[in-house]
Amino acid sequence: MAYIMIQYDRPTDTQHWNNYNRHVRDWIARLLQLPGAVSLVAYRTAGKASPDTFTMLEFHSMEEARQAATSEPMKHVLDELRSVGAVAKVLLVERSPFTPEPILA
């Protein structure tokens, strides 16, 4: 599996915070519509670390992730994040072969 990792700090001022919250569900839906997207998981840091938000958008292959990372829909989402004060860093990552399979309960 391959992932697009999006890292950013959520806005802290009231106007940008409200705009961010108003749009975040739409951004998630649009990211999940990218060709090859399998799932999306987002994490927030518990402390005051920066960046404070990590989003993992999963794809079946690195090629699908590469294409999605440079796509126009991705650029639009990143531009909209920037417009509310969340400047995102985008990384392509893949699962390490040394990572054990999850234990299913």
Structural contact between residues 3 and 92, judged by C-beta atoms closer than 8 angstroms: yes
Given this model, what pLDDT does residue 48 score? 87
b/e per residue, 60-97, with b = 16+ CB within 10 A?
Answer: eeeebbeebbeeeebeebbebbeebbbebeeeeeeeee
Give per-residue pLDDT as tens, 48-66.
Answer: 899 999 999 999 999 999 9
Class of domain 2-94: alpha beta
Question: How far is 57 from 3, CA to CA, in rounded Å?
Answer: 5
What was the pLDDT predicted at 23? 95
The answer to whether 29 and 40 are in contact (CB under 8 A) is no
pTM: predicted TM-score of the whole model, two decimal places: 0.87
Q: Tens place of pLDDT for every residue, the chain, 105 residues?
A: 899 999 999 998 989 999 999 999 999 999 999 999 999 999 999 988 999 999 999 999 999 999 999 999 999 999 999 999 999 999 999 988 787 777 787
**Residue 95 in contact with residue 14, Cβ under 8 Å?**
no
